[in-house]
């Protein structure tokens, strides 16, 4: 359709049709480049509907795009319309009685957090890209991040959704209902569907009270089993006050120490950084944590005595990512296993990798409280220049061990383009057939983000 | 198929084929009687699969049944197999590292609670029928109950499911994964599907720390708006410590007082019973609550000073249901609205009912913290004997006001038989078409609980 520009100008303003720029076309990891026929950035929900009606009629593929921070190539367009939602970005309502906020898809995550804070509440989703990722994308890929242990994933934070279906129909269920059981739950189908079922245009999200008191500890431990025991004890005692429970290997700490003011809070094979928060002020929270650690025999530990010490401990955790760059190109994994299986996975996967790739370096750290690990692997020098050639071979070994431990190959980044051939390893043929039937019912011409998620 | 008994005996033991009894056939509300061709009670998951394979092949309808405590006629069989799951009732595993318990569908809810308590944890789902309802049914109808405000509905408590599909295939995802995004979320399709998509045979559920300290207050208020303001303030201050926030009208309290030791804790148009719990012992919680109420100008309030006083306050709340029986046959409603809309609903619905049915009595109370209300209506004497003749007329007025307030006609009991003609009032034609497509893909011969949920 050569006159696509003119056809869209019949119902869009010129400002809603964008020039191609690297920021719009290149994906976050610089692994993919979108090649759309046209880039649209509608300024109203009605125009999103008009675009979808037109594309439905003319069988034009549509790839929705938010902040373009996805890590699995789910928002990369091959032809058709690249539909950028960034201008659908009003904060529609904050409702304190229902502890909820209604925002449009293009609102940047950080702006949702700020709006909640200004209303004296917390919106807890927090991740590295929060300054540029958009809430529609967070919902479409069921984002996780730092606060899942206490507050859940994006899925757990959505009370209601507004969606434009592939045929242009608007389906809106934004009311903050805390109890509602009226037929099959379609909200959860759209959450995590990575733009393949329709365009999420707005959502009603849960808010929480803001934390008032924080207590932070660093604990050195002999092995992961001890870390899991500590986690179980902390959850039994402090319950939802436990907000973070991060695991760091000796090697990951050594790398990070080079970049950090604080070098080695404890000398141990494994380290845990744990944090309690309380939404009711509690001046004794530090003491309670110290007493608990003492009672549990965790004497190889320190408790942050000031906000500066707390930040220094977190800097050690946060610097791991940057500090590992000197090791070369990383082959990363977005994986999770039941917490009870983390030790088994770590113990068994490393030797298998070392056998196949002698000299491989493994930087292992992550959110033990969610069973989700960063498991970054660096091939020895001789192979490192062409690391991506070996990506599938490394993935295969890691995923085999993940699946043996009843884990998942996609914890919080989604499936997108790069993992769709792996979907049959975690879903049965009948489940994938059901996904296809759902897709076919909503999107009979396969125009919604075709080629993503489903193998 | 006249020789159904003999055919099933080919692969079931005689003990797995039951005689009909009133307990199996009569539904909880005595409104429906099942008329199955045969009642099966398999003793193993394999036998559930065998039964489904046989029924799939021979197009025999199957109605799953748990504790038979449903309130919407969702487990009433018309012909075919009544499939009782009560003997699929092992507690398979408690996993403290993942704070989870894996139980089979036939485990009675109270036994899940007990198993959690014996492991030093809390399973929070709690409802009136907990001594006989079964966890498979709780999941199939997304049960709510008393603790939704803090812990969520059944949907929020399920980490993993095991399901036998209509064709007999077993799909098992029982691993307790706290982060997992691998394709469309099918778990949430089965939760709340009321037995129409397959047989839930087991689930992995979330556990929590046990409450250690409780503080309970009764507050008298002029109007519902003030109650909502108080709720907002309590949530902002005490956050997840708030476990209950019950609303009681002056009339409901007057009825209940006749049966209760404590008569009238406060003199007011509306009353709130609120409870805080903390999983960390806090001897000062009472004082903090008293101080908070004082700071908020809530002087028309009392705080329970002993466990006996606490029980007396709760007795007033719990006796409402029994005390209203003298008013005749009740036409009940399982409704919820956004909390911000509760006052509008109550203010507008009553006059509309009174205009149509002069002399109607309304007993209004419920879980204000969830926006979910018990809204029980009693027709004047002249009509009361044949109350059910007027049920649709009363429902119509109540539901009109619920929908105008963006609420739901089915908060926590489901749709079943009695509300399926109302489903189009809360779901669009395209949503119902999608539900039908999902059903057709999994259950092409429409044998799974036919005639329920979908209109």
Q: pLDDT digit string (tens) for A405-415?
A: 999 999 999 99
Task: With beta carbons under 8 A apart, name residues in chain A contacting B372.
Answer: 178-179
Chains A and B form CB pairs within 8 A to the count of 272
* Spatial distance between the Cα atoms of A191 and A107, rounded to a whole number of angstroms: 17
The DSSP-derived string for B330-397 is EE--EEE--GGGHHHHHHHHHHHHHHHSTT-EEEEEEEGGGTEEEEEEE--HHHHTTGGGGHHHHHHH
Residue A377 CB contacts under 8 Å (≥ 6 apart), including other chains: A330, A331, A332, A333, A353, A357, A360, A361, A362, A363, A394, A398
* Spatial distance between the Cα atoms of B86 and B333, rounded to a whole number of angstroms: 29
Looking at residue B381, what is its pLDDT?
A: 76
Looking at residue A329, what is its pLDDT?
A: 84
Mean pLDDT across the stretch A298-313? 96
**How far from the centroid of its chain's Cα atoms is residue B229's Cα?**
26
pLDDT at position B1 over 70: no
Looking at residue A1, what is its pLDDT?
A: 52
The ipTM (two decimal places) reads 0.96
Mean pLDDT across the stretch B242-257? 95
To test the contact with chain A by mutation, choose from B99, B120, B184 the residue with the greatest count of A C-beta atoms within 10 A, namely B184
Looking at residue B101, what is its pLDDT?
A: 98
Tokens of B106: 């036939």
pLDDT at position B158 over 60: yes
Task: With beta carbons under 8 A apart, name residues in chain B contacting A368.
Answer: none
* A81 close to A199: Cβ distance less than 8 angstroms: no
Task: With beta carbons under 8 A apart, name residues in chain A contacting B408.
Answer: 177, 179-182
Overall fold of domain B213-324? Alpha-Beta Plaits (3.30.70)
DSSP B115: H
Task: With beta carbons under 8 A apart, name residues in chain A contacting B116.
Answer: none
Residue B134 CB contacts under 8 Å (≥ 6 apart), including other chains: B66, B67, B85, B86, B89, B105, B106, B107, B108, B109
Q: Within an 8 Å CB–CB cutoff, is residue A153 touching chain B?
A: yes
pLDDT at position A416 over 90: yes
Looking at residue B261, what is its pLDDT?
A: 86
DSSP B3: T
Common-topology check for domains A4-84 and A91-209: no
* Spatial distance between the Cα atoms of B39 and B20, rounded to a whole number of angstroms: 7
Tokens of B24: 């199996």
* Spatial distance between the Cα atoms of A395 and A393, rounded to a whole number of angstroms: 6
Looking at residue B259, what is its pLDDT?
A: 85
* Spatial distance between the Cα atoms of A114 and A162, rounded to a whole number of angstroms: 22
Q: Where are the domains of chain A?
A: 4-84, 91-209, 213-324, 328-413
CB contact under 8 A, A182 and B423: yes
- To the nearest 10°, the Cα dihedral for A289, A294, A300, A306? 30
Inter-CA distances, A287 with A241, B34, B446, Å: 14, 61, 61
Inter-CA distances, B279 with A130, B147, B149, B209, Å: 32, 15, 16, 6
Do strands A270-278 and A199-206 pair parallel, antiparallel, or not at all (unpaired)?
A: unpaired
CB contact under 8 A, A339 and B97: yes
Which of B323, B214, B313 shows the shortest CA–CA distance to B265? B313
The 10s digit of each residue's pLDDT in A215-232 is: 999 999 999 999 999 999
Mean pLDDT across the stretch A11-20? 97
Q: Is A302 exposed, middle or buried (0-12, 13-18, 19+ CB in 10 A)?
A: middle
* Spatial distance between the Cα atoms of B396 and A38, rounded to a whole number of angstroms: 49
Positive/negative CA dihedral, B412, B414, B419, B420: positive
The confidence band for B384, taking pLDDT boundaries of 50, 70 and 90, is: low
Mean pLDDT across the stretch B419-441? 97
CATH of domain B4-84: 3.30.43.10
Inter-CA distances, B277 with B281, B283, B284, Å: 9, 11, 12
DSSP A420: G
CB contact under 8 A, A179 and B153: yes
Task: Flag the least confident range among A23-37, A217-231, B55-69.
Answer: A23-37
Chain A nearest CA to B380, separation (Å): 31
Inter-CA distances, B276 with A312, B83, B280, B298, Å: 35, 41, 12, 16
Task: With beta carbons under 8 A apart, name residues in chain A contacting B231.
Answer: 97
Which of A77, A128, A93, A240 shows the shortest CA–CA distance to A138? A128
The rounded percent of chain A whose pLDDT value lies above 70 is 99
* Spatial distance between the Cα atoms of B204 and B198, rounded to a whole number of angstroms: 17
Q: How many CB atoms lie within 10 A of CB B213?
A: 16
CB contact under 8 A, A171 and B428: yes
Positive/negative CA dihedral, A149, A155, A160, A161: positive
The 10s digit of each residue's pLDDT in A55-76 is: 999 999 999 999 999 999 999 9
Tokens of A401: 């061990």
The rounded percent of chain B whose pLDDT value lies above 90 is 91
* Spatial distance between the Cα atoms of A412 and B178, rounded to a whole number of angstroms: 10
pLDDT at position A213 over 90: yes
To test the contact with chain B by mutation, choose from A184, A369, A374 the residue with the greatest count of B C-beta atoms within 10 A, namely A184
Looking at residue B325, what is its pLDDT?
A: 86
pLDDT at position B434 over 90: yes
pLDDT at position B451 over 80: yes
CATH 3.30.465.10 fits A91-209, yes or no: yes
What does the mean pLDDT of chain A come to? 95
pLDDT at position B321 over 90: no
* Spatial distance between the Cα atoms of B450 and B163, rounded to a whole number of angstroms: 18
Of A183, A189, A237, the CB nearest to B427: A183
Task: With beta carbons under 8 A apart, name residues in chain A contacting B96.
Answer: 232, 236
CB contact under 8 A, B438 and A435: no
HSE-up (13 A, CA, CB side) for residue A317: 26
CB contact under 8 A, B437 and A441: yes
Mean pLDDT across the stretch B161-170? 98
Q: Which residues pair with B302 in a beta bridge?
A: B218
Cα maximum dimension of chain A: 74
Task: Flag the least confident range among B64-78, B316-330, B344-358, B395-409.
Answer: B316-330
Looking at residue B2, what is its pLDDT?
A: 56
Q: Within an 8 Å CB–CB cutoff, is residue B312 touching chain A?
A: no
* Spatial distance between the Cα atoms of B381 and B327, rounded to a whole number of angstroms: 9
* Spatial distance between the Cα atoms of A144 and A128, rounded to a whole number of angstroms: 11
What does the mean pLDDT of chain B come to? 95
Task: With beta carbons under 8 A apart, name residues in chain B contacting A340.
Answer: 95, 97-98
Mean pLDDT across the stretch A370-389? 85
* B192 close to B140: Cβ distance less than 8 angstroms: yes
Find residues 218-277 of chain A whose CB sits inside 8 Å of chain B. Answer: 228, 231-232, 235-241
* Spatial distance between the Cα atoms of B125 and B373, rounded to a whole number of angstroms: 18
* Spatial distance between the Cα atoms of B306 and A177, rounded to a whole number of angstroms: 35
Looking at residue A105, what is its pLDDT?
A: 98
Q: How many CB atoms lie within 10 A of CB A222?
A: 11
Residue A204 CB contacts under 8 Å (≥ 6 apart), including other chains: A100, A101, A102, A158, A159, A160, A161, A174, A175, A176
Looking at residue A384, what is its pLDDT?
A: 67
* Spatial distance between the Cα atoms of B454 and B433, rounded to a whole number of angstroms: 10
Mean pLDDT across the stretch B153-166? 98
Inter-CA distances, B416 with A334, B33, B129, B196, Å: 40, 14, 18, 10
Chain B nearest CA to A439, separation (Å): 10
Which of A89, A7, A15, A92 shows the shortest CA–CA distance to A50? A7
Q: Within an 8 Å CB–CB cutoff, is residue B117 touching chain A?
A: no
**From the candidate CATH numbers 3.30.70.2740, 3.30.450.20, 3.40.50.300, 3.40.50.1980, the one assigned to the domain spanning B328-413:** 3.30.70.2740
**How far from the centroid of its chain's Cα atoms is residue B194's Cα?**
12
Q: Helix, strand, or coil here: A347?
A: helix
């Amino acid at each position: 359709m050569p006159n696509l520009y003119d056809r869209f100008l019949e119902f869009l303003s010129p400002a809603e049709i964008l020039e191609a720029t690297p920021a719009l076309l290149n994906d976050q990891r610089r692994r993919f480049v979108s090649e759309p026929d046209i880039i649209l950035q509608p300024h109203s929900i009605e125009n999103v509907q008009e675009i979808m009606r037109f594309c439905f009629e003319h069988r034009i593929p549509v790839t929705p795009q938010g902040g373009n921070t996805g890590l699995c190539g789910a928002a990369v367009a091959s032809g058709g319309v690249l539909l950028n939602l960034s201008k659908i970005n009003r904060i529609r309502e904050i409702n304190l009685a229902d502890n909820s906020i209604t925002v449009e898809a293009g609102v940047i995550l950080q702006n949702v957090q700020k709006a909640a804070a200004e209303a004296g509440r917390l919106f807890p989703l927090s991740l590295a890209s929060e300054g540029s990722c958009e809430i529609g994308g967070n919902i479409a890929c069921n984002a996780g991040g730092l606060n899942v242990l206490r507050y859940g994933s994006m899925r757990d934070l959505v009370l209601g959704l507004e969606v434009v279906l592939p045929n242009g129909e608007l389906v809106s269920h934004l009311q903050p209902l805390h109890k509602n059981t009226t037929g099959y739950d379609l909200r959860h189908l759209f959450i995590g569907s990575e733009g393949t079922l329709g365009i999420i245009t707005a959502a009603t999200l849960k808010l929480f009270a803001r934390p008032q008191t924080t207590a932070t500890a660093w604990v050195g431990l002999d092995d992961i089993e001890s870390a899991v025991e500590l986690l179980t004890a902390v959850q039994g005692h402090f319950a939802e006050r436990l907000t973070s429970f991060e695991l760091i290997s000796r090697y990951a700490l050594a790398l990070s120490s080079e970049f950090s003011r604080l070098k080695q809070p404890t000398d141990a094979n494994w380290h845990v950084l744990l944090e309690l928060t309380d939404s009711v002020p509690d001046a004794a929270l530090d003491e309670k944590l110290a007493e608990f650690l003492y009672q549990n025999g965790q004497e190889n530990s320190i408790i942050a005595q000031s906000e500066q010490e707390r930040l220094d401990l977190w800097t050690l955790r946060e610097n791991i990512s940057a500090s590992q760059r000197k090791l070369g190109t990383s082959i990363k994994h977005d994986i999770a296993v039941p917490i009870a299986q983390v030790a088994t996975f770590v113990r068994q996967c490393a030797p298998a990798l070392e056998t196949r790739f002698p000299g491989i370096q493994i930087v292992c750290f992550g959110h033990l409280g969610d069973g989700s690990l960063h498991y970054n692997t660096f091939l020895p020098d001789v192979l490192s220049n062409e690391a991506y050639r070996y990506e599938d071979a490394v993935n295969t070994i890691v995923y085999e061990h993940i699946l043996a431990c009843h884990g998942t190959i996609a914890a919080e980044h989604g499936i997108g383009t790069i993992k769709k051939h792996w979907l049959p390893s975690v879903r049965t043929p009948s489940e994938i057939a059901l996904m296809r039937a759902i897709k076919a019912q909503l999107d009979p011409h396969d125009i919604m983000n075709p080629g993503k998620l489903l193998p």
